């Protein structure tokens, strides 16, 4: 039995189709990630899977329980760590966890021992008696994650677990998540718009854009499928762009081209053979190349290849949009 299974899952808000006919499954014990830009439908999918939103159509099962007809059983088998931190700043770390344990109806005689073990796991034992107001962003997130583990869920959902955190803190959170996964043999479903997070943490990744899944595979397979090399070109002006791109497409060893304004990305199986030909064509067409780079494929390149655009990592814009969507949800 799969830990998560969806069949043609769809969610519309008026005429916005936030999640559009999504079918996928996550096996027990996997770390699975949804990678996509702002507004892709990641949080909406997660809210359906955690029973907080009803789908417009389609089906979703968690550990075999239907989110619509067996919502209570679903809630008992999952942990959910929201994107916004939910801890109370004026309580200590431990007091927050006691509150969480009571909300989750954990037997009284087990509360202390369970809290001790999660605090140890996320290395907050030393800080447990300090008010959360003194915690850093990374420590608050760790406390949030600890709260989601107290009732020992089979499936842990994390919505953008490291958004807004600096890269060192982000790496620490990845370390804790791997530890949690190994220790509790837990299935983890997370959403992210960070390439590196998907690459480092996930066994399999679903690229989601415009409410639809573009591809699902392991990061390694996705990168391998791109060919051996990626050539990124920026040209000075876009006047002869169409003829340039169609000539480049004809070069032997070029598998695919993406054009995003003055930036062209070529996926090639033999980059060193291709580069001299690029210069020949640009010179024939009188196109000035501002920069050209030959690299190994990254998940970023995979994303471009499937969606035709880059995943934009602009946290300020991200937060504004997210706040706006949250307000809309509150009003709805």
Ligand X SMILES: Nc1ncnc2c1ncn2[C@@H]1O[C@H](COP(=O)(O)OP(=O)(O)OP(=O)(O)O)[C@@H](O)[C@H]1O
CB of 64 to ligand X, least distance (A): 25
Find how far residue 263's CA is from the centre of its chain.
25
Any contact of residue 178 with ligand X (CB under 6 A)?
no
Beta carbon nearer to ligand X, 19 or 139? 19
Any contact of residue 311 with ligand X (CB under 6 A)?
no
Any contact of residue 328 with ligand X (CB under 6 A)?
yes
Q: Which of 7, 10, 28, 39 binds ligand X (CB under 6 A)?
A: 39
First to last CA, the chain: 35
Q: Which of 26, 32, 43, 201 binds ligand X (CB under 6 A)?
A: 43
Q: Which of 11, 31, 43, 75 binds Mg ion (CB under 5 A)?
A: 43
CB of 322 to Mg ion, least distance (A): 6
Beta carbon nearer to ligand X, 47 or 124? 47
174 contact choice in ligand X, Mg ion, none (CB below 5 to 8 Å, kind-dependent): none
CB of 199 to ligand X, least distance (A): 18
Any contact of residue 170 with ligand X (CB under 6 A)?
no
Only segment of 42-50, 144-152, 238-246, 247-255 that touches ligand X (CB under 6 A): 42-50
Beta carbon nearer to Mg ion, 11 or 94? 11
Nearest-10 crossing angle of helices 167-184, 108-121: 130
Q: Which of 178, 263, 277, 329 binds ligand X (CB under 6 A)?
A: 329
Q: Which of 167, 279, 321, 327 binds ligand X (CB under 6 A)?
A: 321
Binding residues for Mg ion, per CB under 5 A?
Answer: 42-43
Binding residues for ligand X, per CB under 6 A?
Answer: 13, 16, 18, 36, 38-44, 193, 318, 321-322, 325, 328-329, 332
């Amino acid at each position: 039995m799969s830990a998560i299974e969806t069949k043609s899952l769809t969610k519309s808000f008026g005429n916005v189709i936030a999640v559009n006919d999504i079918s996928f499954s996550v096996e027990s014990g996997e770390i699975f990630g949804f990678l996509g830009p702002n507004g892709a439908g990641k949080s909406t999918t997660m809210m359906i899977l955690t029973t907080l939103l009803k789908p417009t159509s389609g089906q979703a099962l968690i550990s075999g329980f239907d989110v619509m007809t067996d919502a209570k059983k679903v809630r008992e088998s999952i942990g959910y760590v929201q994107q916004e931190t939910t801890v109370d700043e004026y309580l200590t770390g431990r007091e927050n966890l006691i509150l969480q344990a009571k909300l989750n109806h954990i037997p009284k005689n087990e509360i202390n021992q369970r809290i001790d073990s999660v605090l140890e796991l996320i290395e907050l034992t030393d800080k447990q008696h300090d008010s959360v107001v003194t915690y850093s962003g990374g420590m608050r997130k760790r406390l949030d994650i600890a709260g989601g583990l107290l009732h020992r869920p089979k499936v842990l959902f994390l919505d953008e677990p490291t958004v807004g955190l600096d890269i060192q803190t982000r790496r620490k959170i990845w370390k804790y998540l791997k530890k949690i996964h190994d220790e509790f043999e837990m299935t983890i479903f997370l959403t992210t718009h960070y390439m590196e997070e998907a690459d480092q943490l996930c066994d399999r990744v679903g690229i989601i854009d415009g409410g639809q899944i573009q591809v699902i595979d392991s990061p390694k397979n996705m990168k391998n499928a791109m060919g051996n090399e990626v050539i990124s070109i920026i040209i000075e002006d876009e006047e002869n762009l169409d003829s340039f791109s169609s000539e480049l497409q004809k070069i032997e060893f070029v598998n695919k081209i993406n054009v995003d304004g003055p930036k062209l990305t070529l996926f090639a199986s033999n980059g060193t053979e291709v580069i001299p030909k690029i210069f020949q064509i640009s010179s024939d067409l009188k196109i000035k190349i501002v920069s050209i780079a030959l690299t190994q494929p990254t998940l970023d390149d995979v994303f471009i290849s499937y969606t035709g655009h880059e995943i934009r990592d602009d946290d300020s814009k991200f937060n504004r949009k997210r706040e706006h969507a949250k307000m809309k949800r509150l009003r709805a």
